[in-house]
Structure 1
Amino acid sequence: MNKNPSLAPIPFKTWISWLGITFLVVFAGRFVLNDALPYFGLEESVFGRFWVMKWPLIGHISGGLIALTLGPFQFWTAFRTHYLKVHRMMGMAYISGILVAVISSIALSLTTGIAIHWTWSLALIGLALAWFGTTGMAFRFILLRRITLHKEWMVRSYVVTFAFVLFRWLTRQPFYDELGPFVETGPTAIWLSWVLPLFITEIVLQWNKR
């Protein structure tokens, strides 16, 4: 029997994790290329009605992209173990990106958002508060050196970060336009994009706890 550790079979759980990460990268990559990057051309035709609030929108997109990009590195155990200082720097950049994105999001929700409907504005504010709250809790627990709780809240934070990707995917499905006007369906889509994934995440996190 070959006892060389380097030739040991890769655990099934590791395969699942890598497949999940690959799916998230591809899924998020399409969102970045198709929905986020075009705004950085600063063309009025791309912004449409958001042109008057282009800088808060750029701040929101930029902060979200930073969090979306750095998130997977925060969960990469080998990277965290070998490059702890870089991990911490990335963590601060992740938090800073979310802070900028949240502030920008609230500014947008109280201007262009409320111009659509107060329910749309409320949905955006709800998402912003969930984003800020989950990330804030992750930051609090790392300051307290409670690593397990920090990791759990980082997972919740990234689930909320991914809500923007899920929202774009959901609203581009063929059936979506048949559900009704955006003013009625948009707020529901926003809530579904983070509440349901966060609920499922909570079940997974708590499943084996005693």
Structure 2
Amino acid sequence: MKKIKEVLVVEGRSDTARLRQVLGDVDTIETNGSAIDHRTLALIKQAQQLRGVIVITDPDFNGQKIRQKIMAAVPQAKQAFIRRQDGIPAKSHGSLGVEHASAKAIISALQNVWTPKQAQAASSISQTQLVNLGLLGAANSQQLRALVGDILHIGYVNAKQLLRRLNMFAISQQQLETAVKQAKEELYGS
């Protein structure tokens, strides 16, 4: 993988250590958990202006909370997502985290970075479309959303977050339908 020019925003020292182990010399900003202070947000804003940033947080509730705070302050920050199953620790104790991800999972996340689009795509996705595709309101919607999130590399999401991310990253109806078809094939073996 080529050297990453952007600054990677992570949760803590263990994440930085793992990324450096996999990627070599990379620059990171550590949020030190979900209580991001104003200085850290200012540093992320400055890094975005100078080099760009990629947010790569843990695939859990706190990681999502941190990502939302950063997106509110730096809406143009790029997003990389580690799949939930790739962030599980080898030992039974511990929480989901970037520090537990394999080299392959980290590289895949960074090769599938999303950049938020400032203007909504002309063909934005609606809640009705999510219902029609089985991503909302069906018995297996949660499983289907999890697979679609993995296929599109947008992370594990609930229905509301899925709709927001699909539109934020200007994912087309066709891209979504293709991902849903692939997810259904994985689920049902069609």
* TM-score, structure 1 as length reference: 0.30
- Greater strand share, 1 or 2? 2
Q: Which one has a bigger Cα radius of gyration? A: 1
- Greater helix share, 1 or 2? 1
